[in-house]
Amino acid sequence: MFISNLVQFARRVGGAAVIVASMSVPATADVTFDTLRSFYATEAHLPLDIEIKRDIVAKSVRRIEFTYATFDNQIVPARLEIPTGVSNPPVIVLLHGITQSREQWWREDHGPYSFPSRHRVALLAAGYAVAAIDARVHGERISGTDFKDPSVYLSKAYFDAGRKIIAETAIDVRRAIDALETIEGIDTSRIGVAGFSLGAWVGYLAMAVDPRIDAGMIMAMPFLPLSDGQQASFTSQFVYAQGMGDRKLGIIAATEDRLYTREAVEGLADTMPHRPQVTWVESDHDLPDSTSEISVTFFKGAL
């Protein structure tokens, strides 16, 4: 798993303390947030090319498998589940962690990093529709030119390349919402995002730049160090804080997680126009199943 690779990387550069050393200071740059937000814009007339692959009802859930096209004409596989018996439920877009795919939210095992599936089950039971996509270079979107194992972006410290994947997947989330707006039976005037690790960062950026996202649950979001010679990052979470406005954001963070510090998480929360709900759990990066209760409670109060 990618955590062991990251630990090995930490040892090569002198220990985990080196990884978190530059996480605590908000990155600044001579660029306005509006300039950053313009990067995530997509033309309304750009074809979505939505294709419904499957539409079935089973076990009190309507499942729709579909694809849509990105800004650069990649095809994104997506899944939407709608609880039957619920009229026009709000939608939560689910975003997976590194090395995983949208299937992480449907895992039936209880192995490492399977806890997101408990969030999906709990949200459906609470009356929310859920949708998930594969991030770039993950799942069905891994191409012959990609690394076979996406954890290489951490283990080899390809942080700049990783940031581009995160930002472009955030644009894909915006296009996913465009696609969801064409599907009947859901209320796309009430949209949330829930993401873990890589997906948390993607969801955080998407929420900051897309006002259609009303609430977000961000779980174990990494704060990566700056690359050599750089003084700022275009995906720094601090830069996007103002984009949240007064919308509701929930953050779940773990006390033993090596991918961020308490100072970084709390410092980010303090910069928000509307301070998010921050919940600390006794865990490492692999959060406990019980965090699903936090998600349900949060979205009940936010959507």
pLDDT tens profile 262-298: 999 999 999 999 999 999 999 999 999 999 999 999 9
Question: What DSSP element (H or E) covers 193?
Answer: strand 187-196
Q: Token pair of 281, please?
A: 């759990």
pLDDT at 30: 52
pLDDT at 149 over 50: yes
Total residue count of the chain as it appears in this document: 303
d(C-alpha 303, C-alpha 90), whole Å: 7
pLDDT tens profile 54-105: 999 998 999 999 999 999 999 999 999 999 999 999 999 999 999 999 999 9
pLDDT at 31: 62
Q: Token pair of 242, please?
A: 């103002």
Domains and CATH numbers, the chain: 2-302 (3.40.50.1820)
Give the orientation angle of helix 159-180 with respect to helix 198-209, to 10 degrees. 60
